[in-house]
Amino acid sequence: MFISAGAAETEGAGARLAEKIKAGDVLALVGDLGAGKTQFVKGLARGLGSNETVTSPTFTLLHEYRGGRLPIYHFDFYRIENLTALWAIGFDETVFGDGVSVIEWADRFGEAIPSQARWIRFEIASENQRRIDLSALA
């Protein structure tokens, strides 16, 4: 676990992780609103070489980022109502695809997360600090 002192450090953590990511990896992100999940994905995309603008997929449920070493499938489970809706957006087809799947609010449908997923927990420590637990990635 480490403490991020701001958005740039949170993005940096994502960029460093990108060096180790391979096709088929699944990152399950857990944390409250504003805890740094999307900032982390911004760094991951940058670290993979994508120049696309990363935003939270809260209202679209899935964003795809290409142009880097691997495509990123960025899911947000926050507004998904049930497993039927999750399957309807193609989760089961995409999560085992050619890129890395990153799932915000993954704990909402933990039963749908593949067993090999790497869980990353984000906590708000203060206004500018975030605790990021990468212990599952050791």
According to CATH, the superfamily of the domain at 2-137 is P-loop containing nucleotide triphosphate hydrolases (3.40.50.300)
The pLDDT score that the predictor gives to residue 138 is: 38
Tens of pLDDT, residue by residue over 66-76, are: 989 999 999 99
Query: Tens of pLDDT along the chain (138 residues)?
Result: 889 999 999 999 999 999 999 999 999 999 999 999 999 999 999 999 999 999 887 777 889 999 899 999 999 999 889 999 889 888 888 887 889 999 999 999 999 999 989 999 999 999 889 999 986 543
Tens of pLDDT, residue by residue over 112-135, are: 999 989 999 999 999 889 999 986
Using CA atoms, how far apart are residues 117 and 128, in angstroms rounded to an integer? Answer: 28
Tokens of 98: 């050619």
